[in-house]
Every structure is written in structure tokens, then in C-alpha cells.
Chain A
Amino acid sequence: DAGVIQSPRHEVTEMGQEVTLRCKLISGHNSLFWYRQTMMRGLELLIYFNNNVPIDDSGMPEDRFSAKMPNASFSTLKIQPSEPRDSAVYFCASSLRLQDNRGPLHFGNGTRLTVT
């Protein structure tokens, strides 16, 4: 089991540029979460999907942020245009959800984004 795989591990970009973060879920998992972590705000939920369908995107900061699941095993988080305040570590996590029972979250190792 390769675990949740995120890429890139580090991303440094200039303000105004488009940034795309990628996540590969654990095979068989059907829920996908995107989080952002900073010292000031902790681990914030941005959006989560069940069976490829976005369920709650209320944590997405602005319209500059968008997330997709083109298939059951892959997701992207896009920021366009990026701003310095977007600098943070972005995590995705997957889990197996059966009816009302959600299994534990399995996190990737994160993407550290720096916007200058």
C-alpha cells in the first residue's frame, strides 16, 4: 500500500501564478479531503468529496481556489491567481466511508506552498 501520494512536495511561485496541487488516493478509498495548515490557523478543512462528488466546499477561501476529482483515485487543488497569503502546507487525506461509518483519515505528506 503506497499510501496517499501528494505532489509536488514543495512549490515556490510568484504572486499571480497558477498553482496546481495533486493527490492520489489510497486504492479503494471513496472519500477525499483537502486541508490547509498554518501556524496561525491550524489544520483547516477546505473541501471534501464522497464518491467523487464535492460535498462541502465551505472552507474554500475564495473563488481563486478550486478542487476536482476527475476520477476515483485522483484529485487536484488549483489556486489561480496565487497570493502570498496562500502560503501554507496543503494536505490531502483519504478514507473509506461505508454508510454512516467513516474510517480513519490517511494523510499524504503535504505540499509546502510558498508564494512570493
Chain B
Amino acid sequence: TQLLEQSPQFLSIQEGENLTVYCNSSSVFSSLQWYRQEPGEGPVLLVTVVTGGEVKKLKRLTFQFGDARKDSSLHITAAQPGDTGLYLCARQTNDMRFGAGTRLTVKP
């Protein structure tokens, strides 16, 4: 059972388009993390969100933590082929469990 539901499961877009992926749960989390995984490698941390309503920006990536701390979103502006990868959210608890991820493909 996935405690974190990510959507969409797959997303294929053209370079330059904008996109948003989501991470939802029925539970409240003290904090949540987003990771990106590229083929043949392990996931790499992008950001940690802690406060309800918090917005963090990482270049063209904008992360938001829901007011109730049950959901989060990742918005990418003007996607580039280098953004291609598997985007995973994880609850930052003692047992770090992940959602199933959104597999993003950005076509040149």
C-alpha cells in the first residue's frame, strides 16, 4: 500500500512546456522531500519542505507544501530534456518511504 500517491504516473511533454506533478496523502507529515532519479543512478534529493503552505524554488522548479501538510506539488517551467527522470516524493520520517513516482520525459 502506497501511503504517498503520486500523479500522473507517466508524463511526456515537449521541450519548453510547463508541467505540474503531485504527491498526495491522507496523513499529515512533518516534512516531505522530493527526489529525482536518472537512469542507472540512485535518487538525489531536490528539496525538503517543512512548513504548511511553504513554497521553495530551485531554478525552474517550484515546490509547494499544502497548507494541511498532506500534499505537495512540483511545478517545472519551460521543461528541458535534462529534466527527464523519475520524480519521487518521500515522507521524512524515521522510515523513509517513497511514492511510486512520476516518470517524466521531455522531448527535444
A and B bind? yes
Which positions in A face B, CB cutoff 8 Å?
4, 33, 35, 42-43, 45, 48, 50, 55-56, 91, 93, 95, 97, 102, 104-105, 107-110
A55, closest chain B residue (CB): B94
Q: Which of A4, A104, A110 contacts B48 (CB 8 A)?
A: A104
Cα–Cα distance between A48 and B90 once the two chains are bound (Å):
15
Q: Say if the beta carbon of B100 comes within 8 Å of chain A.
A: yes
* B contact residues around A56 at 8 Å (CB): 94-95
How many B residues touch A, CB cutoff 8 Å? 22
Cα–Cα distance between A50 and B93 once the two chains are bound (Å):
13
Chain B interface, >50% SS class: loop
The 10 closest A-B pairs by CB, nearest first: A107-B42, A42-B100, A104-B45, A43-B98, A91-B42, A107-B43, A56-B95, A45-B97, A109-B41, A108-B42
Which positions in B face A, CB cutoff 8 Å?
2, 33, 35, 40-45, 48, 88, 90, 92-101
